[in-house]
């Protein structure tokens, strides 16, 4: 078991530069896993999940700690040197004398969901009293310096969590370290000729120059020939003309009304009283 554990640690170093869109997976336990050959260090998420379910089907321990580390890959844990461990608390936990079973895969294509694992452990240990804890570490950034600092802080927090787990577990625990790959950002890159062509096209849209050929100049559209006579001004003038026309029609209509003054006089004589009676 000590040999397989060392091989698992060395696997991170061997594949440290293999893929940037993959992530490591580590499961360590005080229970002894079934004897099997060393797992392939490049697997899909479904393959890893199937293997983990097989190892945990008997509910081997009483406590489980699921650790989620977003945006991490194998290079974040193991450097180019076999003795270079950038997550020392995790590496010490793997090499601990209390740990008897280790299952590790350096390159996992896809993401093993922490909630799916927790749900399966609950199902597998339905007849047993267990404790499942989850720790979600801060995601690693893209800047190398910031990434290293965040990883160091996360490893320190992980070390404290592991110490509490050992004190409360009475020597029966399983730790699962799940990492998710970072998503690369796309940055458009233009070659120099294409960039120059875009500049020329932009300049042609901003500035309309008069061609030496007067025939072509005369054939240019109105708004390209007279830049200061913009479409906005033209539309405003048309709207003003239409409104003034409507106003003129209304004024002429009011002026054409002819109402005699007698229409506003009220009859007050005897004839009007007879009509009322």
pLDDT for the residue numbered 246: 93
Decide: 179 and 48 in contact? Cβ < 8 Å.
no
What φ, ψ does residue 136 adopt, rounded to 5°? -110, 110
Beta-carbon contacts of residue 103 (< 8 Å; ≥ 6 apart): 8, 26, 27, 28, 33, 39, 51, 52, 55
Give me the tens of pLDDT residue by residue for the chain, a chain 277 residues long: 444 454 444 444 444 444 566 889 999 999 988 766 678 888 999 999 999 999 999 999 999 999 999 988 888 887 666 567 888 999 899 988 999 999 999 889 988 999 999 999 999 999 999 999 999 999 988 888 888 899 999 999 999 999 999 888 888 999 999 988 766 544 455 455 556 666 666 666 555 454 454 556 667 766 666 666 667 787 888 999 999 999 999 898 888 877 666 665 665 556 555 555 5
Tokens for 217, please give them: 């100049």
Q: Give the model's pLDDT for residue 39.
A: 82
234 — alpha (psi -120 to 50), left (phi > 0) or beta?
A: alpha
Whole-number pLDDT of residue 257:
78
Task: Write out the E strands in the chain.
Answer: 22-29, 42-44, 63-70, 101-109, 131-136, 173-180
Fill in the DSSP letter of residue 225: H
């Amino acid at each position: 078991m000590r040999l397989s554990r060392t091989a698992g640690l060395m696997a991170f170093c061997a594949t440290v530069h293999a893929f940037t869109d993959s992530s490591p997976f580590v499961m360590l336990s005080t229970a002894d896993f079934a004897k099997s050959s060393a797992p392939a260090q490049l697997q899909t998420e479904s393959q890893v999940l199937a293997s983990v379910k097989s190892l945990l089907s008997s509910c081997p321990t009483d406590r489980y700690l699921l650790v989620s580390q977003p945006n991490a890959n194998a290079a974040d844990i193991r450097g180019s040197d076999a003795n270079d461990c950038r997550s020392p608390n995790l590496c010490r936990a793997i090499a601990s004398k209390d740990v008897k079973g280790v299952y590790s895969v350096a390159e996992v294509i896809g993401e093993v969901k922490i909630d799916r694992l927790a749900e399966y452990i609950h199902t597998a240990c339905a007849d047993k009293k267990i404790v499942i804890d989850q720790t979600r570490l801060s995601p690693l950034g893209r800047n190398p310096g910031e990434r290293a600092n965040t990883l160091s802080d996360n490893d320190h927090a992980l070390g404290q969590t592991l110490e509490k787990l050992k004190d409360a577990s009475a020597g029966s625990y399983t730790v699962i370290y799940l990492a998710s790959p970072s998503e690369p950002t796309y940055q458009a890159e233009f070659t120099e000729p294409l960039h120059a062509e875009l500049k020329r096209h932009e300049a042609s849209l901003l500035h309309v120059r008069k061609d030496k050929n007067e025939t072509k100049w005369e054939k240019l559209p109105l708004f390209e020939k007279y830049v200061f006579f913009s479409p906005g001004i033209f539309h405003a003038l048309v709207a003003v003309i239409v409104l003034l026309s409507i106003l003129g029609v209304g004024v002429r209509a009011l002026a054409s009304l002819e109402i005699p003054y007698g229409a506003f006089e009220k009859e007050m004589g005897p004839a009007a009283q007879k009509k009322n009676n």
